[in-house]
Structure 1
Amino acid sequence: MRNLKELYAEFLEMGAVYSQREFSRLWGMEPSWFSSTTSRGREPGIYPLCMFRIQIDRIKADTEIALSETDNEDEAEALTEGLEELKIIRDEMEKAILEKAMMRFSFLENKTIPNPVQASAERTR
């Protein structure tokens, strides 16, 4: 997956966002989330990834409408390129969501949860 700064640059170039604050909102987060996350070198968690993935579909739908309404060949080409890029980013987000979910699941799977009956018997010995 691309890092947040690369994704921000892509969405800025596409005209999907105009500021870091707006980009943070696409992730379902507070306006300062992007700058805070990138300055700390962190990666988005499952919740922001899922929210961003949902927003990609909304942007994709808006782009498809704009493409159907334009008569300008240059604009149609730019919109088509944007749609292709959105599909790639959507696939990257889905992969990142699955990877994070699998990491969480494997952590839970390997975590030993004590048997309460056994723990009680051991305390009374």
Structure 2
Amino acid sequence: MFVTLGILLGCGLLLHAFYHFLDCHAFVRAGVKATATVIAIESEPDIDYGHLYVPTFKFSTDKGEVHTFRGEGGPKRRWQPDAITDIIYDPNQPERAKVYTVMGLYKPVVVNCVIAMITFAIVFTARSNNH
């Protein structure tokens, strides 16, 4: 029973990762690259880390419209005010923007794949110990 549930969980995680990959791939293909500037860094309380540092980016679209978006927070202060980075945004919804890095775009894919692999490793280790 444990093995079956573990395999189902691992497969579900891989399917979820594949869905995120397709979504991110479509976003990158349709997206427009731009340069953004960090305009603020907010510190938010966090249960696990104490504080998360969340950057706010400002960028201009090809049409000259100015937009802002909040990046993904982290326990370390990776960004400094006025830092410049590459981003990608949806031309139909410019407020849907992401930092143009592998982890900025594909983090859900990587996380789901890693958890699936750990799940499979636990299941197959438990299975081989039972035989």
TM-score band, normalised by shorter chain = 0.3 to 0.5
TM-score (norm 1): 0.44
TM-score normalised per structure 2:
0.42
Larger radius of gyration: 1
Q: Which has the higher contact order (CA 8 A, sep 6+)?
A: 2
Higher helix share: 1
Structure that is richer in strand per residue = 2
